Amino acid sequence: MAEPISKQQMKCDEATAKSLIVDNWNSVNSSVSETAQRCGRSPDSVRVVGVTKYVDAEITSWLVEAGCHDLGENRPQLLESKFQTLDDSNIRWHQIGNLQRNKVRRLLPAEPLVHAIASERLLDALHNECLLQSRSIDGLIEINVSEEEAKTGLPIDQLEPLLVHWRELAGSSNAGLNINGLMAMAGWGTDETAAARQFAKLRELRDQMESSTGISLPELSMGMSGDYPAAIAEGATLVRIGTRLFQGVLPTG
């Protein structure tokens, strides 16, 4: 994976970058609101997670200044270092990528929402470390909705057993891991129609699980720069948007 860029590597100068980031943030938000309204949903029901894995802490801080207070990183080390550098209690952190168990202890002080829980071992590690550190965090189970061999995420048929396991593990404790939704990525190279089908599948799965287990799963994290309108139409509550927020700033964008 490419290293996050610093301001020396931007496509434009600092003042231009700051104003582009403000414009991009505003246009993504209006587009998300309009899409929600067109689908008969309240604009408040969809939150934009600004994915900042492409840029260093300084450029990330310009997005925060533009008004984005939900920041998503896919590498836990980068999340942890930005959490320390930016030191801003108004930021809600999102660990959106794959997470190894040996990274959990150092990640938890940021109290991130963990989007990509796809195994019982990771779920247990998160819950147990939360108890050790007396913390509560929210987490989402990542589902492999595209059913491609190489994709990340839990196979659909393993979701119900994992939820039942989580309830037994966490049921009576106040601190710990709170599972409150599902996450998915559309398969690479899927067109908008195929992506929409996969997002619909995640929503239907959520509805089934809520009725079969009684566990409430209000959050659906789905949709990125290229497919968020389809995700919102299918019920996304969190959209994870990176590239579009840094358009004109990233050397390749």
DSSP-assigned states of every residue in 175-214: SEEEEEEEE--PPTT--HHHHHHHHHHHHHHHHHHHHHH-
Please tell me whether residue 186 binds ligand PLP under the rule CB under 6 A: no
CB of 214 to ligand PLP, least distance (A): 29
The residue ranges of DSSP E strands in 46-103, in sequence order, are: 47-51, 70-73, 92-95
Q: Residues in contact with ligand PLP, total (CB under 6 A)?
A: 13
Name the helix (H) or strand (E) containing 220.
strand 219-221
Candidate residues 55, 242, 249, 250; the one interacting with ligand PLP per rule CB under 6 A: 242
Return the number of the residue (2 or 15) whose C-beta is nearest ligand PLP.
2
CB of 167 to ligand PLP, least distance (A): 26
Name the helix (H) or strand (E) containing 240.
strand 238-241
DSSP-assigned states of every residue in 93-146: EEE-S---GGGHHHHGGG--EEEEE-SHHHHHHHHHHHHHTT-EEEEEEEB--S
CB-closest chain residue to ligand PLP: 242
Return the number of the residue (170 or 231) whose C-beta is nearest ligand PLP.
231
Of residues 209 through 228, those in contact with ligand PLP by CB under 6 A are 224-226
CB of 212 to ligand PLP, least distance (A): 27
- The CA distances from residue 22 to 14, 177, 246, in Å, are 13, 34, 10
Mask for 90-119, x = binds ligand PLP (CB under 6 A): ------xx----------------------
Candidate residues 17, 66, 195, 241; the one interacting with ligand PLP per rule CB under 6 A: 241
Cα 135 from Cα 28, distance rounded (Å): 33
Strands 47-51 and 176-183: unpaired
CB 199 within 8 A of CB 236: yes
Return the number of the residue (131 or 194) whose C-beta is nearest ligand PLP.
194
Name the helix (H) or strand (E) containing 219.
strand 219-221
Mask for 27-56, x = binds ligand PLP (CB under 6 A): ------------------------x-x---
What 8-state DSSP symbol labels residue 52? -
Return the number of the residue (226 or 248) whose C-beta is nearest ligand PLP.
226
Please tell me whether residue 63 binds ligand PLP under the rule CB under 6 A: no
Only segment of 1-9, 36-44, 77-85, 234-242 that touches ligand PLP (CB under 6 A): 234-242
Candidate residues 61, 213, 243, 247; the one interacting with ligand PLP per rule CB under 6 A: 243
Q: Can you give the binding site for ligand PLP, defined by CB under 6 A?
A: 51, 53, 74, 96-97, 185, 224-226, 240-243
